[in-house]
Each structure stands twice: as C-alpha cells, then as structure tokens.
Amino acid sequence: MDLNEYVGLFLDESMEHLQAINTSLLVFEERLDDEAVIDQIFRSAHTLKGMAGTMGYDAIADLTHEMESALDLVRSKKQPATAELIDVLFVAAEQLETMVEDISRGGKGKLDVTETVRRLQQFIRPEQEEIISVTPSTAPSTFECDVYSEAVVKQSIASGYQAYIVQVELSADVILKAARVYMVFDRLQQLGDVILSNPTSDELEQEHFETSFSVLFVTQQEQSVIQEAVASVSEVATVTMDVFEATPEAEVATSTLPQEVPVATSVPAPIASPDSPEQTDLSVPVASKTIRVNLERIDRLMNLFEEFIIDRGRLERIAAEVSSPELTDTVERIKRGTNELQSLVLTLRMMPIEQVFNRFPRMVRSVSKDVGKHIKLHITGAETELDRTVIDEIGDPLVHLIRNAIDHGIENKAERILANKPVEGNLSLRAYHSGNRVFIEIEDDGAGINHERVTRIAIEKGLITEEETMQLTIEEASMLLFAPGFSTAEEVTDLSGRGVGLDVVKSKIESLGGEVFVETRRGEGTIFRISLPLTLSIISAMLVELGQETYAIPLTAIIETTSLRKSAILQAHREKVFDFRGQLVPLISLNEVYGLPQHEAEAYSVVVVRSGEKLAGLIVSELIGQQEIVMKPLGSYLEGIRAISGATILGDGQVALIIDSNALLRK
C-alpha cells in the first residue's frame, strides 16, 4: 500500500486533532478536574498516535504515546494533574504542530523530542510498574465464536473461502502496539475479511494486551501470501496460521440465519457479531453527509467560473448592441442563474476563520508568561467564513496586532492595580459579517493610546511636522502607529521595538483589499478593527476611461462619483483640492499618474475614494458604469507599476487594469 496518497488526509486530520488538543489544554489548565476535557485530549492524542504510527512518522507517534500515557494516569486518577504537566503538554503540542507543518512542506516530520519525552516519562514513572501490571488479555490458540459468527464463516467456506486463525506476536519492545495492530488489520482487510479478534477490537485499541493477539479471518488467498503480508508490518515478530474448524452446531445455526446475512462471493464484506464491541478503525466507515474535495479542484472550478463570468459580460454587450428581445431575455435568465452559481462557487472557497484563531490561545498564554502579565483571551465568531486566499494571508497581521496588544496595550500587574483594574487583563478577538465584508476586531482593556506621546515620537522621527499635528484628529493621530519605522518601544525586545510590524500589517491588509482602523479610549483600552472583502477573485467595480483606455476601480473603495466644475477646484499647500461635504479633499489626476495625455475642460468626472481616514478625488476622463469583474494577478514583469493591483478581461475582450486606490493615497 502506497501511504503517500494518504498524506493529505493525514495532514487534514492531524490539524483538526491538534486544534482540539490546544483548545482543550487551555480549558484543562483552568479546570484540572474536568474529566470531559481530559478525555478529549486523550482521544485526540490517541488518534494522532495511531495515524502517525501507520504513516511511519515515528517522532509524532512516540511523543503522542507519552502524552497519552501521562493523560491516562490523570484520567484514571492515579496521578494528579500538575502545573508542570500542563506546561510540558503545551510544549508537546507545539512540537507536534512543528512536525506536522514540516510534513506539509514535504519534510519527514522529524524533530528532536527527547527532552519533552523525558519530562513526560518523569511524570509517568512513579506509576509505571502499576500500569504494566494491569492484567492483560491473552491470545488463545482457539476461538470461541458465537453461533452467528461461526455460521457466517461456514457460509463463506461453502462459497470457496478458507477460514484461518491468524496468530500475531509483536516484538517485546514494541511501543505503539495499537498502531501495529491497525496495520496488521489493514493488511488482512486487503486480502480477505476479518470476522473476529481476540482480544476484542476495543481491548486492542486501548492496548489492553501483552504482545500477542489472534484474528479469525476468511480469504481466497494462499496461506504464504497472508503470512508474508502480515510479517511485513514493522515490529511483528512472528505470524502463525491454523485452519479454523467450525463446530457441528454451526450447521443448525446456518438454516436459521436471517436473509440479510451476506454470503461471500468475492471478498466478503466486514461482518461482526451483533453482541461484539464496535470495531472502530477496523470496519467500513459510516457514510457521511460531507466529502473532502482537493483544493486544486475547487480552484479549477473557480477558474472555469471566472471564464464564464467574462463570457457573460460579452453576451451582455452583444445583447445591448443587437435589438433582440429574445436575446435580451435569455441573457437576463443567464445572469440570474450565474448570480446563484457565483454565490455557490464562492461558498465552496469559504473557510471558517477558526483555523486561524485557534493558533492564538496558546500563543497568548506563552507570550503573556514571557512578559510577566496575566492575560485571558476571549474568542467569538470563530465560525465566520472568509475566502481561502484571505484565510491563508491574514494570520501574520493578526499575530502582529495581538503581540502588540500584549506588549503595549495591556498594563503590567502593578499598573493595573494602581488603575483599579483586575490584575488579569482581557484580550478579545472577534469576527463577524456585515454586508459583503468581514470584520475582525482585536480589543484590549489596557491603557489606551497616548496620542501626545505618539505625535511627539512621529515628529522626532520626521514622519510629520509639528504644524501638521495640530490639525490631526484623534483617529488620524492613532493611524500614525502604522507609519513605516514608527515604534513607541523604548528598548528592543523579542516582541517589539524594531520599527517593523504595524506598517507591515497595514500593507498586508490593504493588499487583501481590506482596511484597518483604530478606536481607543484613554485608560479603557484599544480596538484594532480590520475590514476585509469576502472574496478577492470576483469583485464589483466602476469602469472609467482614461484617455482611450478603460480602467477599473473597486466599488469597496468608492464613496461616490460626481461632476466637478473647473471653477470649484482650489489650491492648498501646492495641491489641487475641492470641497467635499465641508472637507477639503485632494484631487489626483489619474492621467497624470499613469503618464497619459491631459486635456483642460470646464468640468471633470471625479471618483471620491477612501483609504482608512484619508479621502481623495480621482479625476477620470469618463465614467463608464458598474460591472462585476474577474480579478487576475499581474505577471512579474508588471508588478512594479504604481497603484495597479491587477487586471481583468472585459466583455469585448479588452484588458482593463485595476486601480489600487489605497496605494494612491499612501503618502
């Protein structure tokens, strides 16, 4: 069996179990006697151990085996949970994530976990002898079958199958017994059918046996083929096979079997006694209402749909040029259908932000301990869904903002006591939908932003003049935090002080079509609010004409469009501005930005756009209209073009560049 084809499934399952372990460990730390939480961690570690053992990732299997052993002592109340155990379990979980991530990058999942294993074994050792002394089940040389199972065997024999008792002896020093049992059963299932096992499947899974077990097995394969297949499993010492002899009583039972009992005609279906324990991992999985789909297939579907959107635009253009009611009606029906299809296809690409949020509880715990603060993380809205592309990119900006809140936002213990605040600080991470956008908020109950200090540092670093600071609103002063090179840290630490971070956060969020805002209250706390589009591939845009070329401006950046008379254009600080709702807003000529011919006119078409707290009016030659477009990335040779984020193909086949208004306003 080629295990490489199962790597993707292993990674998906592993990440789910690691998320469960991390979440449960945080609860376990607060409620050491919560048996349900202990069971959850134990089950996830046990499952991960079995999968890793099967796939040959021994370091993962060894580490989870020790975690499982330690948790089993706590679960059985033979050892009390300690702070030391919690710490080492967190370390183990982090190392498991590191190894799984290495596998996802094509590595072997190897890591030196010797020290962590040693620490876990120190916790286990006082009870080690007691654990080993648990009376195990043994594997007898004969099987005591119930009438039902024996009758099934007899029917299989009548259909040309041979029944055997396969006795397997594992190596005396085997570590992952359950994983080796699973691999033996997997080999047998490929060659025939397992009817029963002794010990039972539950006992085998829980490793309640020494080193030997027996399997009642029916097959049409040669005995030597079966022995060779089982013997190929790592840490299997010996394999012996005996022909199973059915007792005469089975003949009576055969005539009374219900009609539904399957008779082997090719490879028999898995059969178990109705009285025997459920055979987890050894039976055919129960049908599920969900399926796993390779992401490449979804991306391919999305690409095909994007081409369909482009062709729909061509049809709409043709229908507008050709006076045919029937064609117009057909195009309208196609448009309605594609709108529904678009919603469905985009939904397939949506993923819960939970997989990003789940990495932060452990990080907050670790970082807050490093800086000597007591901080509790509250997460809400983890089920909120975002486009997979955004999910893949949003993690790092959130890490910066959370670490910033821990280091700069929340006060230390002494400062919180002086401010009459609880010693434990609160950090909230929220996500929610609003319209066609997703908002993520990072809120702390710290001291808030000291705007006087922020503006003073900005002046010292030459980011702004003293005169300009006098005109800043509180919101604009807060946005100085995102200026390149800005830092309020007085010394460089592992968390901050290097002058990088928040400017990178802003750039990354804007590259995703998003915005970031700051809301702060002195003495009460700060909120960083991120606004993101649901998807990056299909967007609504305003088409405009510059010279003889068509450009697109995303609607999410547009406040309104207007016509501006030449006489309404003013001069301020050597720049052209105009009065927009009582506020002087700078004017930017896109023809000038992109080196296109400019023409004087009595009135200009203006698109008013916003980036954060900044506004600007973009002068264009003509407004064409609104349209849904498919956003395509630029090739590497075009990436240097200023304020262009991508391109799209219009209905007439013309390529239109997409204007990045955030880049235009970033000064």
The pLDDT tens digits for 217-257 are 889 998 888 988 898 888 888 899 888 876 554 443 333 33
Say if residues 90 and 362 touch (Cβ distance below 8 Å): yes
How far apart (Å, rounded) are the C-alpha atoms in residues 243 and 217? 10
Those residues whose C-beta lies under 8 Å from the C-beta of residue 184, and which sit 6 or more positions away, are: 168, 215, 230, 233, 236
How far apart (Å, rounded) are the C-alpha atoms in residues 664 and 644? 9
What class, spelled out in words, does domain 147-255 have in CATH? alpha beta
At 69 the three-state DSSP class reads helix
Q: Per-residue pLDDT for 554 more than 80?
A: yes
Q: Per-residue pLDDT for 391 more than 50?
A: yes
Q: How far apart are the first and last CA of the chain?
A: 59
Give the least confident one: 7-21, 192-206, 262-276, 532-546. Answer: 262-276
Q: Per-residue pLDDT for 493 more than 60?
A: no
**What global pTM score does this model have?**
0.58
- Chain centre to alpha carbon of residue 457: 38
Q: Judge whether 358 counts as a catalytic residue.
A: no
Say if residues 231 and 215 touch (Cβ distance below 8 Å): no
Q: Which pLDDT value is given to residue 129?
A: 42
For the ranges 291-300, 561-570, 592-601, the maximum mean pLDDT occurs at: 561-570
Say if residues 69 and 115 touch (Cβ distance below 8 Å): no
Q: Which pLDDT value is given to residue 290?
A: 62
**DSSP classification of residue 407:** I
At 109 the three-state DSSP class reads coil
User: How far apart, in Å, are the Cα atoms of 73 and each of 20, 62, 576?
Assistant: 20, 17, 75
Q: What are 153's two structure tokens?
A: 């065997």
Single out the catalytic residue among 68, 97, 385, 441: 68
Say if residues 180 and 233 touch (Cβ distance below 8 Å): yes
Q: Which pLDDT value is given to residue 147?
A: 63
Average pLDDT over residues 98-125: 86
Single out the catalytic residue among 404, 408, 441, 443: 404
How far apart (Å, rounded) are the C-alpha atoms in residues 18 and 99? 11
Q: Judge whether 404 counts as a catalytic residue.
A: yes
How far apart (Å, rounded) are the C-alpha atoms in residues 75 and 80? 9
Residue 636's pLDDT band (cuts 50, 70, 90): low
Q: Which pLDDT value is given to residue 3?
A: 57
Single out the catalytic residue among 46, 65, 400, 451: 46
Q: Per-residue pLDDT for 126 more than 90?
A: no
Say if residues 23 and 358 touch (Cβ distance below 8 Å): yes
Q: What are 429's two structure tokens?
A: 């991470």
Say if residues 554 and 631 touch (Cβ distance below 8 Å): no
Residue 426's pLDDT band (cuts 50, 70, 90): very high
How far apart (Å, rounded) are the C-alpha atoms in residues 52 and 64? 9
Average pLDDT over residues 458-471: 83
Superfamily of domain 353-533: Histidine kinase-like ATPase, C-terminal domain (3.30.565.10)
**Beta-sheet pairing, 583-589 with 575-580:** antiparallel
Nearest by Cα to 372 from 428, 399, 410, 419: 410
Those residues whose C-beta lies under 8 Å from the C-beta of residue 43, and which sit 6 or more positions away, are: none
Q: What are 367's two structure tokens?
A: 């970082």
Q: Count of alpha carbons within 13 Å of 561, Cβ hemisphere only?
A: 18
Q: Dihedrals φ, ψ of 251, to 5°?
A: -65, -35
Q: Which pLDDT value is given to residue 247?
A: 59
Q: Per-residue pLDDT for 589 more than 80?
A: yes
pLDDT digits (tens, 9 = 90+) for 46-62: 888 888 877 778 888 88
Mean pLDDT, rounded, of the chain? 80
Q: Which residues pair with 439 in a beta bridge?
A: 432, 531
Q: Dihedrals φ, ψ of 579, to 5°?
A: -85, 115
293: amino acid identity, one letter: V
How far apart (Å, rounded) are the C-alpha atoms in residues 373 and 608? 45
Say if residues 543 and 552 touch (Cβ distance below 8 Å): yes
At 53 the three-state DSSP class reads helix
For the ranges 14-23, 90-99, 118-127, 323-332, the maximum mean pLDDT occurs at: 90-99
Q: Which residues pair with 350 in a beta bridge?
A: 387
Residue 68's pLDDT band (cuts 50, 70, 90): confident
Q: What are 600's two structure tokens?
A: 């004087």
Higher pLDDT, 528 or 556: 528
Question: Domain locations in the chain?
Answer: 3-132, 147-255, 295-351, 353-533, 538-665
Q: What is the CA radius of gyration of the chain?
A: 33
73: amino acid identity, one letter: L
Q: Judge whether 46 counts as a catalytic residue.
A: yes
User: What whole-number percentage of the chain has pLDDT above 90?
Assistant: 17
Q: Which pLDDT value is given to residue 96?
A: 92
Helix (H) or strand (E) holding 616: strand 614-620
Higher pLDDT, 492 or 467: 467
How far apart (Å, rounded) are the C-alpha atoms in residues 574 and 496? 38
CATH code for residues 538-665: 2.40.50.180
- Fold assignment, 295-351: Helix Hairpins (1.10.287)
Nearest by Cα to 540 from 658, 432, 635, 651: 658
Q: Per-residue pLDDT for 503 more than 60?
A: yes
The strand order across the sheet containing 538-546 reads 622-630, 538-546, 549-554, 655-659, 644-649
User: How far apart, in Å, are the Cα atoms of 537 and each of 116, 293, 301, 390, 624?
Assistant: 45, 20, 13, 11, 21
- Fold assignment, 3-132: Four Helix Bundle (Hemerythrin (Met), subunit A) (1.20.120)
